[in-house]
């Protein structure tokens, strides 16, 4: 497992928001997951390709070990990694490229460091590019604390010795959820102002009584939160539900009185919905830790751990085919179904898939989704507005719509005549 700084740039959203989380996390070892290990393996191939000048396709079938797990480079990896590698190579023309470069934050935060995936130093611009292999959490480059710390360390140790550029482009390459990710432009002046805030936040973490401040981003990967060990998070989530820890300590025969949702004002409801992922994560962690206790023999009042049955499977498909031969007609025993676009994309290759998208793939509208108001997608037209549009003369409305589409009232009237 790779070495991690106590105040790492990757954890900046946590420790800069919640200084007390640092002491809380000290009680738990570093952990990884299959998803994190896969991301590490992808970084390994990305680094090899950038250093060697090869394309990802040349590593197809190669096995990569990460955090004790083994991964194979597949056609999917080519689709995910190659566009970002091509972009880096293009941007590095006329500049100097640094790959997987460790940078230290000593100027502002002593003894802390991080690893920059890709740094490009040009006469006019400094580019910091970070690859994210995950698909569960969308990461935005705009005012991204991790990226800003990377940029500061890269400028302090490397870029300022090679260029007079003071403009920065911070880029998130997250192909599995948003194509080529996002980017944000900033300046050295803005980064230096941020550096003072980061330095002050780092000092607050040294206070043995540092405050615990729950937040969506800060709690998402906090080890104390994962182990259901943060009382501040417990209090915060319960408060969203209209409860307190004292409510849960009452006589168990009394049902706690939760918030009456039908009486909740719109602003409070939106505030709760903003934190819905936090509530789900808190509940999932609570369940996982209770199950772990039960399996370890620790009493969990009112619950117990039991064995369950998984989905049935053939011990051997060949033996199953032989067994059912003659007993069940082949047409009933086998299924044949065209794979979905998502499944075929993995097999098709970039060029064939692009042609397919233009000709035989459609994406119907999905169910409406409730998202924060700063989401870039346009808002749906409220039903009441659509009903208002039905008031008045329908022919006038149709003429107006056609006029907007065709750009000329006379043409709209002719189109209306044809329709009638």
Q: How far is CA 372 from CA 43, 111, 136, 221, 270, in A?
A: 31, 37, 17, 21, 9
Selection from 113, 100, 110 nearest residue 46 by Cα = 100
Output the pLDDT for position 384: 63
User: Looking at the DSSP assignment, which residues form a beta bridge with residue 96?
Assistant: 121
What is the residue-averaged pLDDT of the chain? 85
Output the pLDDT for position 402: 46
**Three state DSSP letters for 271-297:** HHHHCHHHHHHHHHHHHHHHHHHHHCC
Q: What is the dihedral of CA 12, 16, 17, 22, to 10 degrees?
A: 80
Q: Residues of 286-323 as b/e, b for ≥16 C-beta within 10 angstroms?
A: eeebbeeeeeeeeeeeeeeeeeeeeeeeeeeeeeeeee
Distance CA(351)–CA(401), nearest Å, equals 39
Q: ∠ CA 345-80-94 to the nearest 5 degrees?
A: 135
Nearby residues of 80 by Cβ (< 8 Å), 6 or more positions away: 42, 133, 175, 176
Selection from 181, 182, 176, 134 nearest residue 346 by Cα = 176
- To 10 degrees, what angle do helices 350-359 and 341-348 make? 140
Level-2 CATH architecture, domain 9-204: Alpha-Beta Complex (3.90)
Chain segment 64-107, per-residue pLDDT in tens? 999 999 999 999 999 999 999 999 999 999 999 999 999 999 99
Q: ∠ CA 102-104-109 to the nearest 5 degrees?
A: 150
Output the pLDDT for position 80: 92
User: Which ranges of 325-380 would DSSP assign to H, the alpha helix?
Assistant: 330-333, 341-348, 350-359
Using DSSP, how many helices (H) and how many strands (E) does the chain show? Answer: 20, 7
Output the pLDDT for position 416: 42
| Domain edges within the chain | 9-204, 228-295, 339-363, 383-419
Output the pLDDT for position 229: 93
CB 302 within 8 A of CB 400: no
Nearby residues of 63 by Cβ (< 8 Å), 6 or more positions away: 70, 71, 72, 73
Output the pLDDT for position 96: 97
The rounded Cα 252 to chain-centroid distance in angstroms is 39
Q: How far is CA 136 from CA 76, 176, 286, 335, 343, in A?
A: 17, 9, 20, 32, 19
Output the pLDDT for position 419: 43
Mean pLDDT by 10 residues, the chain (420 residues): 74 96 92 89 97 95 93 93 95 95 94 95 97 87 96 96 97 82 95 97 96 94 93 93 80 71 84 92 91 86 80 82 85 80 74 77 72 71 62 54 50 46
| Maximum CA extent, the chain | 82
Chain segment 234-260, per-residue pLDDT in tens? 999 999 888 888 877 776 667 777 777
DSSP string over 110-127:
TT-EEEEEEEEE-SS-EE
Selection from 182, 115, 152, 149 nearest residue 15 by Cα = 149
Q: How far is CA 76 from CA 116, 133, 334, in A?
A: 24, 12, 28
């Amino acid at each position: 497992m790779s070495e991690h700084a106590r105040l790492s740039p990757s954890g900046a959203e946590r420790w800069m928001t919640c200084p007390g989380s640092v002491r809380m996390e000290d009680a738990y070892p570093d952990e990884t997951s299959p998803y994190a290990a896969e991301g590490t393996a992808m970084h390994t191939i990305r680094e090899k390709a950038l250093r060697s000048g090869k394309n990802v396709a040349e590593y197809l079938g190669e096995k990569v070990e990460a955090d004790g797990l083994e991964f194979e480079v597949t056609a999917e990896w080519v689709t995910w990694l190659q566009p970002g590698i091509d972009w880096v190579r293009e941007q590095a023309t006329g500049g100097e490229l640094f790959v997987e470069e460790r940078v230290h934050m000593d100027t502002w935060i002593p003894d802390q460091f991080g690893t920059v995936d890709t740094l490009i130093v040009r006469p006019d611009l400094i580019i910091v590019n970070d690859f994210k292999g995950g698909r569960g959490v969308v990461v935005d480059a705009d005012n991204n604390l991790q990226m800003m710390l990377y940029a500061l360390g890269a400028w302090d140790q490397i870029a300022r010795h090679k260029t007079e550029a003071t403009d920065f482009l911070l880029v998130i390459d997250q192909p599995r959820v948003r194509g080529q990710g996002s980017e944000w432009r900033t300046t050295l002046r803005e980064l230096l102002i941020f550096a003072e805030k980061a330095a002050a936040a780092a000092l607050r973490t040294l206070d043995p009584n540092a405050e615990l401040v729950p937040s969506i981003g800060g709690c998402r990967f906090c080890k104390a939160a994962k182990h259901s060990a943060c009382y501040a998070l417990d209090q915060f989530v319960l408060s969203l539900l209209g409860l307190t820890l004292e409510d849960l300590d009452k006589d168990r025969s009394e049902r706690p009185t939760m918030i009456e949702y039908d009486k909740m004002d719109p602003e409070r409801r939106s505030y709760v919905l903003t934190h819905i992922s936090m509530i789900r994560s808190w509940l999932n962690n609570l369940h996982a830790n209770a199950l772990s206790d039960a399996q370890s023999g620790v009493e969990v009042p009112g619950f117990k751990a039991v064995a369950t049955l998984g989905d049935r499977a053939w011990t051997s498909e060949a033996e199953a085919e032989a067994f059912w031969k003659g007993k069940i007609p082949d047409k009933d025993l086998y299924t044949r179904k065209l794979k979905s676009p998502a499944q075929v994309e993995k097999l098709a290759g970039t060029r064939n898939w692009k042609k397919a998208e233009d000709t035989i793939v459609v994406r119907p509208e999905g169910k409406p989704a409730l998202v924060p108001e700063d989401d870039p997608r346009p808002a749906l037209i409220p039903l009441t507005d659509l009903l208002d549009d039905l008031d008045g003369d329908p022919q006038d409305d149709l003429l107006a719509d056609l006029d907007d589409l065709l750009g000329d009232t006379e043409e709209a009237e002719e189109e209306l005549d044809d329709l009638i």
